[in-house]
Structure 1
Amino acid sequence: MKKKYIIYTALCSMLALASCESVLDKTDLGAASPDLIAGDSVLANIALNYVYNQNLPDWGGVTAISGIGGSVYSEESYNQGSSENKYLEGTLTQADVSDFGTALNANNNYGKIRTINSFIFDLGNDKLMDNGAKNRLLAQAYFFRAWRYFELVKLYGGVPLVLTPQDAVGQEARDASFIPRNTTTQCYNRIAADLDTAMKYLPTVWQSPSANWGRVTRGAAAALKGRVLLYAASPQFNPNDVVSKWQTAYDINKQAYDILTASGSKLFADYGKMWFSEITGGVGNSEAVFITGYNTSPGDQQKRNNGWEASTRPKYSTGSGGGSNIPSWDLVKAYPMKDGKKPGASTKYTYSDQLFYKDRDPRFEKTIAYNGSTWPMTNVTNNRLWTYQQYDANAKKYVSVENGGTNGSNTGFYCRKALQTSDVAASTLDASSTIYSGTDWMEIRFAEVLLNLAEAATGVGRLDEAYTQLKVIRARAGIEAGTDGLYGLKANMTRAEMFTAILDERQIEFAFEGKRFWDLRRWKLIEKTLNGTKGTKVVIALKTTGVPSDFAATRDGLKLDDIYTNYFTVTITPNALMTRNAIAWKPEYYYFAIPQAAINNNPLIIQNNTWGGAFDPLQ
């Protein structure tokens, strides 16, 4: 289904409402007056849709303002170019992470929180509306207030908790708006309380699923609370490993699991195709928990396309742009073998860099496109991707065979996750149509709920539960169970080994889903994992001797193992495009600085103690 919510609230849209399939079908810029909304749940829904539009996460799970968290912030892709990445280069300044907001703006975080608070305040004072309808509307607003504050807390630690709309006119109102930062603990408690309210009043399943596809549910609220409290229990916020924090995280993640499974949530059978199942026969994707909908509607007011398809596909297949989110060799090496063992550790499947693609975890083929792989991205069923280099005698250098030697992959690989191919696309995918992708983004999918539960269970010593969830994830992936039924997992792991196994599993399961950077950050592992490297890539080159003269014409019909064994050299090399110094993440980046402009605006704001202030984000 591609006709989804984008949000409309102007009064001129209201007359069209009755004819819409969904209450989340259009876009507009304003919010309806509370006087007009009073007692009318339909009009209140229109105002709520504006809240959805402002707060739904963008594709890839990056932050709304700074855009932190994509593949270039971890070893998934690194920064594939010569432009500076201040986070990884250790050159971040106090002003660079501006999500806190430094000016009055409806589109910064506190501007969005003000809109949510106004909605809650106005609807809370509505004496005419049915209480059931009102509580369901308020519950959705509380969900997004929790989401907005969590996005701030994971960046800075504690922030000022503004829970009512502030007056905007006059010196007295200005003075009253000066609010100090709440402690990080107070912020986590408020986020949890808002999500408790959401869980209390949201349905587990909305009536008319097609019309309400994308609305948050009780399970979504529980899953978000599970993610929030897992952060609170992680080393970034829990350096002393206080077990009670893990227990709190375990309790809510178990509750989220129970709520979602009772309402029909489960892993989608096909890992590679789960992104393309939205609404079928009135039933939504069983794996989707918290989603942002996109569409390909023809009208300007309805069209909302995501940029993932156009930015990620090879440049020659998009007509413009493309070639982003390219996997590094480091990510390629991270995938286990088909038996679940790490490359080199498996006794069943031999690994070699020369045949790196052979006998890997099935998620490898569904996430990474490599030289010689079958990838029907151009509606050619058996299309093969070729990214190797060959020697040009005239130019006296190696050049890529891809796209005539231009616009080729920088690492030899492409990401293929959530990209449409001929076996999932409803229409022909040509260079002009890729910019109109309507594939929905799953910010939280059921797999995360399972792995959040596994991690929290490990925190409280319930390692058997952690094993159970990891095995379910690996079974869906297609990894072999093995004679011990452990799907390649080490038996009798310690607590520390299990934490590591879960992070490794998250790296593979959620590759290019905006999770890896935040996982490394909340576990304070960025220096250990990334510092001192520029990343690596693979250079696959056609040999200059012993290659048939008609190789280019016959390669599609040859066996890939024979091609790699007889005609290619595979060389692992540092990523030469990263011309800067090696990665040098700094410890103070685990809590970013409040921008000085925000401190200048509010004299009660105190800077983090890792940036020269006195505020302790661990309190």
Structure 2
Amino acid sequence: MGLMLLIFNTGCTDFLSEKDPSNLTPDSFYTIPDHAEAALASVYADMRFFGGDGGIFSSTWQLLEAPTGTSTTETAQNSDLNNLYGLIYDGRTQHVINWWNGLYKVIAQANMVLDKVPAITPMDENQKKKILGEARFLRAWAYFYAVRLWGNIPLITLPQTATSEDFMPAPAPQEQVYELILEDLLVAENAGLTWMDPSGRASLAAVKSQLAKVYLTMAGHPLNKGNQYYQLAANKAQEVIDYANGNPSSIGLFPTYNDLHDETNGNRLEHLFMIQYNVIVAGNPMNNMFPNFKPVTFQGPSGTGSTVPTIEFYNSYEPGDKRAVNQEGFFYTSYYTNGSGEPFDLGAPYIFKHFNKAALGTFGVPGNRANNLNVPLIRYADVLLMYAEAQNELGGPNALAHESLKKIRDRAGLPTPGLGEFTINTFREAVWRERWHELCYEQITWFDMLRLRKVYNELTNGFDDFVGHTNLSSNQALREMHLLMPYPLPEMQNNPNLLPQNPGYP
């Protein structure tokens, strides 16, 4: 196993790692507490598969954006990416393969930590408990993505070798996967983690927020566990909200949307959990959102435009919504030549949500070329909306659910009807709309579509059934098969027990 060592740069809070050239084996390696810390660092490092190579002009994360219909592409060179947009992907699609390999690598590394660290002696018990809790959180994080993407999946909880009895495991039922996810998260919740961790390691806020998301998902499709799990989701989200209300300098919403993509704000306030990036190891991987060959950065006329907003989604924001204001919200329609020169019109809206002005440039200030911006995974805004949705399903909105929705809309500069003006149905769709408009391009929307079996219709401002909804990005309709991703063909070839393929795929 490759040993991963931590790097801490002065003034940098990212939890980072790089490979060590040693030939240590697991049996000879896990002997002192520093080994446990380094092994855990390798699990965090493996999360960066998220930004891996998806072929020419493409990244692994685009698997969760292209099928949503909220984005389109300005480049045609990548057939796999085009197939994602066209809803004709299959088990050969590189992004599907990358997600499977990436998630199971995180799981394998976490399993190694969980198997080997308990035997390290001497070791401070609190340190050991915390490391094991973080490893549990990361394993749950990976399995939660995997079970939502593929449904029934192999459930592996111990380190594997070619001689392992279950080296070629068959898929386990989704219910069983969710049982492990909840078990892991509940252990992590009691592992002595701090509420927020500026280094980027898992925090109590991240664990509780992830629990809320898992419960909310289990309440909906495909498990349909209903009110008991809506209540669990509401309770867990409220724990984070109550802490935030009592500790506003620790957790809360950033005052402005530009704060969301200011790298100095990583792992603080609204950012409850992020994938850590630093150019020493790996720079921010969202460059495929840059316009195609337009000079918005120090690199001049570059960029691929392989994930750009559809004009219909951009136009679906309410009049006056700050999130649609040029360079103030989540989009930009003009920028500065080579990042810092004269203003020019982009001719269309592009995604500004992951644009790092310090690295790429802003008016009169050239970029420093070091794009250390982290990728957000859990924001406090998401927690507020999860609470509002879950609580509403229990019989209608209460005051806290209304206040949670209102906080999102207040920041956007939008009015919110009074609590008494909502019904359970109108409040439900109001929260869903905010999820689409607030959490867009953060690899969340696709999972909302799956658990709700609903898709936002940009033209009607309402919601269609998932099956039959036409993505305006491709004019192709979502089908029943799209509720699951296909198992990767290479994995099926290597593991004959990974059968049958998910319905509808070759």
TM-score if structure 1 supplies the norm length?
A: 0.67
Q: 1:598 to 1:184 in 2, by over 3 A?
A: same
- Give the secondary-structure state (helix, strand or coil) at the position aligned to 1:222: helix
CA contact (8 A) 2:393 2:424 kept: yes
- CA-CA distance at 1:123 after TM superposition: 0.4
Q: What amino acid sits opposite 1:230 in the alignment?
A: L
Q: Which runs of 5+ in 2 are unaligned?
A: 456-463
User: 1:218-248 CA distances to partner (integer Å, 9 max, x unpaired)?
Assistant: 111111121122222223442xx73223223
Q: In structure 1, what is the Cα distance between the partners aligned to 2:420 and 2:8?
A: 57
Instruction: Judge conservation of contact 1:220–1:290 (CA < 8 Å) in 2.
Output: yes
- The letter for the 2-side match of 1:441 is V
Contact 2:402 2:419 in 1 (8 A): no
CA distance in 1, matches of 2:11, 2:31: 21
User: Secondary structure of 1:414's match?
Assistant: strand
Larger relative contact order (CA 8 Å, sep ≥ 6):
1
Distance (whole Å) between structure 1 residues aligned to residue 162 and residue 261 of structure 2: 43
**Distance (whole Å) between structure 1 residues aligned to residue 344 and residue 166 of structure 2:** 64
8 Å Cα contact 1:204/1:218 also seen in 2 = yes
Q: Is the 8 A contact 1:226 1:256 kept in 2?
A: no
Label 1:374 to 1:303 Cα distance change in 2 as closer, same or farther (>3 A): closer
- Say whether the 8 Å CA contact 2:271–2:376 is kept in structure 1: yes
What's the offset of the Cα at 1:112? 3.2
Alpha-carbon offset, residue 424 of structure 1: 10
Q: Distance in 2 between matches of 1:418 and 1:598?
A: 33
1:89 paired with 2:89, answer no
Change (3 A) 1:427 1:204: farther
Contact between 1:291 and 1:443, CA under 8 Å: does it hold in 2? yes
Tell me what 1:290 maps to.
273
- The Cα of 1:217 is off from its aligned counterpart by 0.6
Distance 1:125 1:439 in 2: 37
Q: 2:426 aligns with which of 497, 514, 523?
A: 497
Q: 1:385 aligns with which of 306, 329, 345?
A: 345
Q: CA deviation at 1:367?
A: 1.9
In the TM superposition, 1:151-300 aligns within 5 A as 151-169=145-163, 173=164, 175-205=165-195, 213-238=199-224, 242-259=226-243, 261=245, 264-276=250-262, 278=264, 285-296=268-279
Task: Quote the residue 2:458 is aligned against.
Answer: none
User: How big is the shift at 1:99?
Assistant: 4.9
**Native 8 Å contact 1:98 1:595 kept in 2:** no
TM-aligned CA distance change 1:260 to 1:611, over 3 Å:
farther
Cα distance in structure 1, aligned partners of 2:108 and 2:360: 41
Distance 1:168 1:598 in 2: 15
Tell whether the 8 Å contact from 1:591 to 1:608 is kept in structure 2 after alignment.
no
Which residue number in structure 2 is paired with residue 133 of structure 1?
127
Whether 1:368 aligns to 2:331 is yes
The one-letter amino acid of 2:332's match is A
Separation in 2, partners of 1:89, 1:18 = 43
Per-residue CA shift, 1:106-134, capped at 9, x if unaligned?
A: x5433432221111111022232111111
One-letter code of the match for 1:362? K
Q: Is the 8 A contact 2:340 2:362 kept in 1?
A: no
Which residue of 443, 449, 457 maps to 2:383? 449
Contact 1:290 1:445 in 2 (8 A): yes
**Unmatched segments (≥5 aa) in structure 1:** 1-7, 297-301, 338-359, 388-411, 482-486, 537-577, 614-619
Partner of 2:294: 316
Give the whole-Å Cα distance in 2 for the aligned partners of 1:589 and 1:310: 24
1:474 Cα deviation (Å)?
A: 1.0
User: Secondary structure of the residue that 1:443 maps to in structure 2?
Assistant: strand
Partner of 2:459: none
- Deviation at residue 421 of structure 1 after TM alignment: 4.0
Give the structure-2-normalised TM-score. 0.81
**Equivalent-residue separation in structure 2 for 1:36 and 1:285 (angstroms):** 37
Q: Rg larger in 1 or in 2?
A: 1
For residues 349 and 505 of structure 2, what CA distance do their matches in structure 1 show?
42
What's the CA shift string for 1:459-494, capped at 9, x where partnerless? 222412332210011112222x4xxxxx25785333
Please say if 1:469 is aligned against 2:404. yes
What are the equivalent positions in structure 2 for 1:369-448 lying under 5 Å apart?
369-370=332-333, 378-379=339-340, 383-385=343-345, 387=347, 412-421=348-357, 436-448=370-382
1:14-93 equivalences in 2 (<5 Å): 24-28=15-19, 33=25, 38=30, 40-56=32-48, 58=50, 67-70=62-65, 72-82=66-76, 85-93=82-90
CA deviation digits over 1:13-33, x for unaligned, max 9?
A: 68x989997783441167865
CA RMSD after TM alignment: 3.9
d(CA) in 2 for partners of 1:514, 1:66: 7
Query: Is the counterpart of residue 116 in structure 1 residue 89 in structure 2?
Result: no
Superimposed CA distance per residue, residues 37-63 of structure 1 (whole angstroms, 9 cap, x where no aligned partner): 556323321121111100257369x99
Aligned residue identity for 1:361: D
1:78 offset after TM fit, Å? 2.8
Looking at structure 2, the residues matched to 74 and 115 of structure 1 have their Cα atoms a distance apart, in angstroms, of 31
Could you tell me how far apart the structure 1 residues matched to 2:467 and 2:193 are?
43
1:485-506 deviation line (CA, Å, top 9, x unaligned): xx25785333232221111101
Give the counterpart letter for 1:418 in structure 2.
H
Cα distance between partner residues in 2 of 1:194 and 1:226: 14
Question: Which amino acid letter does the alignment assign opposite residue 143 of structure 1?
Answer: F
- Rate the CA distance shift 1:85–1:528 in 2: closer, same or farther, 3 A: farther
What is the Cα deviation at residue 198 of structure 1?
A: 0.9
Which string of whole-angstrom CA distances, capped at 9 and with x for unpartnered residues, describes residues 513-572 of structure 1? 222232223222357479675737xxxxxxxxxxxxxxxxxxxxxxxxxxxxxxxxxxxx
Q: Deviations over 1:366-403 (max 9, x none)?
A: 22223xx57798335x835252xxxxxxxxxxxxxxxx
The one-letter amino acid of 2:308's match is: I
Work out which of the residue numbers 309, 322, 326 in structure 2 matches 1:327.
Answer: 309
C-alpha displacement of 1:266: 0.5
- Match of residue 306, structure 1, among 247, 268, 284: 284
The separation in 2 between residues aligned to 1:308 and 1:18, in whole angstroms, is 23
Q: Which has the higher helix share?
A: 2
CA distance in 1, matches of 2:9, 2:310: 50
Task: Determine helix, strand or coil for the equivalent of 1:413.
Answer: strand
**Paired-residue identity, %:** 22
Q: Equivalent residue of 2:478, what SS?
A: coil
Secondary structure in structure 2 of the residue aligned to 1:304: coil
- Could you tell me which residue of structure 2 aligns to residue 585 of structure 1? 478
The one-character-per-residue Cα deviations of 1:198-219 (angstroms, maximum 9, x if unpaired) are 111142246xx6xx51111111
Give the letter aligned to residue 429 of structure 2.
T
| Contact residue 68 and residue 471 of structure 2 kept, 8 A | no
Instruction: Tell me the distance in 1 between the aligned counterparts of 2:221 and 2:131.
Output: 35
Aligned partner of 2:413: which letter?
A: G
If each structure's strand is expressed as a fraction of its own residues, which one has the higher value? 2
Shift of 1:152: 0.8
